[in-house]
Amino acid sequence: MTKVMVYTTNDCIECTMVKQVLTQEQISFEIRDISINPDYQKEVEKFGFLGVPVTVLGNRAVKGFTNELKELIQLTREKI
């Protein structure tokens, strides 16, 4: 199974919403807090984003709490 990663910070409301939805959908994920580890910010930038939340499944990354996140959740379900 492909791992889902969520790049986040503790004070980000949108990040909290993404983590809540993934939890509600019973999708396990790894949290990567860019405020704790600066290397995570570099990883976010490699996906073409500057801010968080960024949710990653395989080589696909989406920013924010958007319809793209819903698509990524569907892809995750298909890979389980």
Q: What is the pLDDT of residue 1?
A: 54
Could you say which architecture CATH assigns to the domain 4-79? 3-Layer(aba) Sandwich (3.40)
Distance CA 76, CA 61 (A): 12
SS3 56: strand
Domain extent listing, the chain: 4-79
SS3 54: strand
Per-residue pLDDT of the chain (80 residues; tens, 9 = 90+): 568 999 999 999 999 999 999 999 999 999 999 999 999 999 999 999 999 999 999 889 999 988 888 888 888 877 65
